[in-house]
């Protein structure tokens, strides 16, 4: 990997006419006109939540030229508010302001805000421009890239949504200075995931730089975000609507979703559940003879060094896992499909795990 000394990076998500840049750097929000090249017209609606508004709303508004018509919507904070009712509040604000098809929505916040604002933009007047300004590490490396937008339904998470790509993603690393440590670790789970599924050299680099990442040192953080976004962008460019390779991004997520759902959303953060889930997937890959014990130990060590749990929840039985895992969207014809490791840096989707091997893993896996 080439040595980088600056914390500024730009990369591109290559989707033909819908291609867009990801700008990564420090002090971007305070920079004048950072959003201007991506605005469709003079009408701008910035959407954020009650936690982020006092921290960053003023900075982003002050960088916009005075002739623009800038409005704001501040939603309540929390996954439980990722609902169609809250998206409707965005549509109400747009209509009350008389905003037309040339307006631009700006999502200032974590993945919850990004997913909702993207969906609001996808449906408002059959689709308007939006810009992602992600403020959590998870949203900077994952949810803001790739165009999956949507909300939860009382009967299922992310069940209502659309593919709708942003005009740009603006990642200001300074926003991570206020992010709680647990949330930072949760984002690192997805960063490690990219190394495990696609890039052994990146994984080695993460092993060396984990402490700097946990300290949010700007150059190292910019590099980790850029590498992560590049891997996600490459996968999305290959398979925008998840017909194939995009499923590899679910490493650890089948086990992880089962943990999140069983523990009640919010008790285990998504990234924490993915940390334990990736460890379970690596352990299963080892039991199937696909990776050796030194590879398994490396995977476990890097996950632990990010401050993530390796063990499954104490009160979760094998049957609790199996009942939840049966509902996974990747399954085809009732066959359980899991993302497994063929090596560090290489993953595949497999439905070849014998059911007694899986039950054996779940029975004996550390709690």
The two three-digit tokens of residue 300, written as one number: 């476990």
As measured in angstroms, the least distance from the Cβ of 316 to ligand NAD is 21
Among 13, 52, 251, 316, binds ligand NAD (CB under 6 A): 52
As measured in angstroms, the least distance from the Cβ of 315 to ligand NAD is 24
Q: Mark 121-150 with x for binding to ligand NAD (rule: CB under 6 A) and - for no binding.
A: --------------xx-xx--xx--x-x--
Length of the chain counted residue by residue: 367
| Helical ranges in 199-326 per DSSP H | 200-214, 218-238, 253-263, 270-287, 293-305, 318-325
Active site residue 232: yes
CB atoms near residue 131 (< 10 Å):
26
Is 140 a known ligand-binding residue? Answer: no
Candidate segments 23-31, 106-114, 195-203, 318-326, binder of ligand NAD by CB under 6 A: 106-114
Nearer to ligand NAD, 191 or 362 (CB): 191
Active site residue 286: no
Binding positions for ligand NAD, 176-195, rule CB under 6 A: 178-179, 183
Three-state SS at 218: helix
248 within 8 A of 235, measured Cβ to Cβ: yes
Active-site option among 253, 262, 298, 337: 253
Separation between Cα atoms, residue 125 and residue 270, nearest integer Å: 33
Q: Quote the radius of gyration of the chain (alpha carbons, Å).
A: 20
Biggest CA-to-CA distance, the chain = 66
As measured in angstroms, the least distance from the Cβ of 216 to ligand NAD is 11
Active site residue 50: no
- State yes or no: residue 166 binds ligand NAD (CB under 6 A): no
Among 109, 166, 307, 345, binds ligand NAD (CB under 6 A): 109
Active site residue 148: yes
320 contacts: CB under 8 Å, gap ≥ 6 = 258, 262
319 contacts: CB under 8 Å, gap ≥ 6 = none
Active site residue 262: no
| Residues forming the active site | 126, 148, 190, 232, 242, 246, 250, 253, 257, 270
């Amino acid at each position: 990997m080439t040595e980088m000394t600056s914390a500024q990076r730009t990369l591109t998500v290559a989707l033909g006419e819908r291609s867009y840049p990801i700008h990564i750097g420090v002090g971007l929000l305070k920079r004048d006109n950072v959003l201007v090249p991506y605005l469709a017209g003079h009408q701008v609606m910035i959407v954020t939540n009650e936690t982020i508004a006092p921290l960053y709303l003023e900075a982003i508004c002050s960088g916009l030229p005075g002739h623009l018509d800038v409005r704001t919507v501040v939603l309540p904070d929390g996954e439980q508010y990722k609902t169609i009712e809250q998206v409707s509040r965005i549509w109400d604000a747009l209509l009350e302001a008389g905003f037309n098809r040339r307006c631009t929505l700006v999502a200032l916040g974590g993945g919850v805000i990004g997913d909702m604002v993207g969906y609001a933009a996808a449906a408002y007047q059959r689709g308007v421009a939006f810009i992602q300004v992600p403020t959590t590490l998870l949203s900077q490396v994952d949810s803001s890239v790739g165009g999956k937008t949507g909300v939860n339904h009382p009967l299922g998470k992310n069940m209502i949504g659309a593919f709708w790509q942003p005009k740009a993603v603006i990642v200001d690393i300074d926003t991570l200075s206020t992010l709680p440590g647990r949330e930072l670790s949760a984002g690192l789970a997805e960063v490690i995931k990219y190394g495990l599924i696609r890039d052994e050299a990146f994984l080695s680099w993460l092993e060396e730089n984990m402490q700097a990442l946990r300290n949010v040192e700007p150059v190292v953080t910019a590099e980790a975000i850029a590498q992560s976004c590049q891997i996600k962008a490459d996968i999305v460019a290959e398979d925008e609507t998840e017909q194939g390779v995009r499923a590899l991004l679910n490493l650890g997520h089948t086990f992880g979703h089962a943990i999140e759902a069983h523990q009640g959303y919010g008790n285990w953060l998504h990234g924490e559940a993915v940390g334990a889930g990736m460890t379970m997937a690596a352990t299963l890959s080892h039991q199937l003879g696909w990776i050796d014990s030194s590879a398994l130990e490396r995977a476990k060590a890097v996950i632990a060094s990010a401050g993530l749990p390796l063990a499954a929840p104490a009160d979760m039985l094998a049957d609790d896992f199996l009942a939840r895992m049966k509902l996974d969207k990747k399954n085809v014809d009732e066959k359980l499909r899991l993302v497994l490791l063929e090596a560090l840096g290489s993953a595949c989707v497999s439905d070849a795990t014998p059911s007694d091997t899986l039950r054996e893993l779940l029975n004996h896996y550390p709690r």
